[in-house]
Amino acid sequence: MKAPDFEYLRPETLAEALAMLARHGEDGAIIAGGQSLLPLLHFRLAAPAYLIDIGRLEPLKQIVEGDGYIEIGALVRHCELAASALIGREFPLLHQAVEHIAHPGVRHRGTIGGSLAMADPAAELGACCLALAGDVLLQSAAGQRWVGMADFFAGIYETALAADEILTAVRLPRRGHGGIQIFNEVARRRGDFAMAGLALVSDRGLGSPRLALLGVSDRPILAVRAMALLSQDPTATEAAIALIGDEVDPADDPAYPPAYRRHLVGVLMRRTLAELSP
Amino acid sequence: MKTRRIALTVNGETVEREVPVRQNLVDFLRHDLGFTGSHVGCEQGACGACTVVLDDQTVRGCLVLAVQADGATVETIEGVQLDDLRAAFHRLNALQCGFCTPGMLLSARELLRDNPNPSRQQIRDYLSGNFCRCTGYQAIVDAVETVALERLP
């Protein structure tokens, strides 16, 4: 089908965009890369009266090095993450994960801010930013706030974003050298939605591990029990593999029953830990 | 119906048109400009039949609004040179009905630009976003691989 009609607004500055959203937020939608929103419009699952195109806001397209962190602008596209040497150096997890996001044509348009704001439970970048202990910057005409990833995701397509707020950046703490970052997922076919995925971020020798899972809950989640177990004893890998499947409670899905997804989480854990072995 | 005036370069020519703001790029290219080589399949970004090149990168023509392409440079299958790829698709039976072929060719062209010597798996991965319901893909991968090998010095 074709998209329903809407009023198209194209702000040139963030302040202008925030003012538009303050006026039209309840009836408005932000469009960036459009790779999730346009299918929703075509299916008539969304019918905003106003479409606010933030695609020309140049300051949101930067990757900035800060003191102890890297800040990725909301409009940085998946292909730009993949092409960034800085990201490859600091967050190889993101380089690994981007390869799994849909197909080249989609990666050329889709943005990190759009992916996070869409909050698809099977999205790669949400789980990665959770594993990397990131914070998102939410801005409105009234002010701004930083929200940790664990507090940002609120359910399927649900986030902490208010109707008058735009997610403008994600800030990821730098990880020092010698640490571990591994991403794995299982999908039917390259680029398909993940049936399950796992992001591991830890210090050298599996110290202070963070394990984020995607596709197995209504939002990306941390496998806190497996994390606690490995924190106490980094050699308890078999116990962690046995445990991690029981940490998730996937929705009932005729194609992939919950027991199968729980099994996949264990498989992903085993694959991920196997990559650590010399 | 809300409209907006856009100006862009399509296949080397500057065009300026008043377009409905809800119109997607591939419909604009087909209906307003007559470049019907880009096909409309699923309209949800899954099939890749609508693949066009926007500022030197392949995109889903159905997942870009025409107004978003204001100021951009667009190429369709009608505007690009891919003689050896086209010939290899023909010679190796890499198409039957041809519906997916323009998208396949544009994706394959981009792959070989960025990675002149891809493995078969890399070819399959790169073309995974272009559906073909006729050939089973084997011949398409053959054609792309053949062109890659022929182009190597």
pLDDT at A178: 84
Is A177 near chain B, with CB under 8 Å? no
Q: So what's the ipTM on this one?
A: 0.96
Would you give the distance in Å from CA B113 to the centre of its chain? 14
pLDDT at A255: 86
Q: Which residues pair with A147 in a beta bridge?
A: A136
Residue A209 CA to residue A244 CA, distance in Å, equals 13
CATH numeric code, B83-151: 1.10.150.120
Q: Which H helix or E strand runs over B55?
A: none
For residue A272, the domain's CATH number is: 3.30.390.50
CB atoms within 10 A of CB A192: 16
Residue A2 lies in a domain: no
pLDDT at A190: 87
Residue B56: Cβ-neighbour burial (10 angstroms; 0-12, 13-18, 19+): exposed
Residue A242 lies in a domain: yes
Question: Are A66 and A167 in a shared domain?
Answer: yes
Is A2 near chain B, with CB under 8 Å? yes
Residue A140 lies in a domain: yes
Residue of A nearest to B129 (CA): A103
The residue out of A131, A146, A173 marking a domain boundary is A173
Q: Which sequence spans correspond to the domains of chain B? A: 3-79, 83-151
Pairwise CB contact (< 8 Å): A104 & B21: no
CB A69 within 8 A of CB A90: no
Residue % of chain B over a pLDDT of 90: 96
Is A105 near chain B, with CB under 8 Å? yes
For residue A18, the domain's CATH number is: 3.30.43.10
Nearest to B131 by CA among B94, B105, B100, B91: B100
Question: Are A212 and A194 in a shared domain?
Answer: yes
Pair of tokens at residue B86: 């086209």
Calculate how close chain A gets to B78, using CA atoms only, in Å. Answer: 19
B2, B4, B68: best mutation site toward chain A, by most A Cβ within 10 Å?
A: B68
Q: Is the dihedral of CA B72, B75, B79, B82 positive or negative?
A: positive
For residue A145, the domain's CATH number is: 3.30.465.10
Residue A167 lies in a domain: yes
Please report, for residues A76, B15, B145, the alpha-carbon distance to residue A175 in angstroms, rounded to integers and kept in the order given: 21, 49, 40
Calculate how close chain B gets to A10, using CA atoms only, in Å. Answer: 9
Task: Map residue A79 onto helix, strand or coil.
Answer: helix
* Cβ-Cβ contacts under 8 Å, B71 against chain A: none
What is the per-residue DSSP string for B58-82?
EEEGGGSBGGGGTT-EEE-GGG---
Is A263 near chain B, with CB under 8 Å? no
Question: Are A71 and A107 in a shared domain?
Answer: yes
Question: Are A146 and A229 in a shared domain?
Answer: no
pLDDT at A253: 87
Please report, for residues A24, A99, A147, A157, A158, the alpha-carbon distance to residue A161 in angstroms, rounded to integers and kept in the order given: 15, 27, 10, 11, 8
Nearest to B108 by CA among B141, B81, B132: B141
Question: Are A132 and A236 in a shared domain?
Answer: no
pLDDT digit string, tens, across residues A152-201:
999 999 999 999 999 999 999 999 888 999 999 999 988 899 999 999 99
Question: Are A149 and A225 in a shared domain?
Answer: no
The residue out of A173, A194, A209 marking a domain boundary is A173
Pair of tokens at residue B28: 């604009």
Pairwise CB contact (< 8 Å): B63 & A34: yes
Amino acid residing at B51 = T
pLDDT digit string, tens, across residues B28-55:
999 999 999 999 999 999 999 999 999 9
Q: Is the dihedral of CA B36, B40, B45, B49 positive or negative?
A: negative
Residue B1 scores a pLDDT above 90: no
Amino acid residing at A207 = G
Pair of tokens at residue A168: 């403008």
Question: Are A75 and A168 in a shared domain?
Answer: yes
Cβ-Cβ contacts under 8 Å for A213 (sequence gap 6 or more): A127, A196, A197, A198, A199, A220, A221, A222, A223, A244, A247, A248, A265
Would you give the distance in Å from CA B11 to the centre of its chain? 13
Is A104 near chain B, with CB under 8 Å? yes
Cα Rg of chain A, angstroms: 19
CB A170 within 8 A of CB A129: yes
pLDDT at A79: 98
> What average pLDDT values come out for chain A (278 residues) when binned by 10 residues?
96 98 94 97 96 98 97 98 97 97 97 98 98 98 98 97 98 92 94 95 94 97 97 95 94 90 97 88
Question: Are A220 and A140 in a shared domain?
Answer: no
* Cβ-Cβ contacts under 8 Å, B24 against chain A: 2-3, 38
pLDDT digit string, tens, across residues B93-112:
999 999 999 999 999 999 99
pLDDT band at B153 (very low <50, low <70, confident <90, very high): confident
CATH for B3-79, options being 3.40.50.150, 3.90.1150.10, 3.10.20.30, 3.40.50.300 = 3.10.20.30
pLDDT at A278: 58
Q: Which domain holds residue A245?
A: 180-276
Is A153 near chain B, with CB under 8 Å? no
Cα angle value A203/A195/A120 (rounded, 5°): 80
Task: Map residue A148 onto helix, strand or coil.
Answer: strand
Per CB distance under 8 Å, which residues of B are interface residues toward A? Answer: 1-2, 4, 20-24, 27, 43-45, 48, 51, 54, 57-60, 62-65, 67-68, 107, 110, 124-126, 128-130
Is A46 near chain B, with CB under 8 Å? no
Pair of tokens at residue A237: 């890998």
Instruction: Give the nearest partner residue to B63 out of A35, A51, A190, using CB atoms.
Output: A35
Residue of B nearest to A4 (CA): B22
pLDDT at A75: 98
Pairwise CB contact (< 8 Å): A34 & B65: yes
Cβ-Cβ contacts under 8 Å for A208 (sequence gap 6 or more): A202, A231
Pair of tokens at residue A213: 């899972």
Give CB contacts under 8 A, 24+ apart, made by B147-150.
B147/B84, B147/B85, B147/B88, B147/B108, B147/B112, B148/B112, B148/B116, B148/B117, B148/B118, B148/B123, B150/B84, B150/B88
* Cβ-Cβ contacts under 8 Å, B20 against chain A: 5
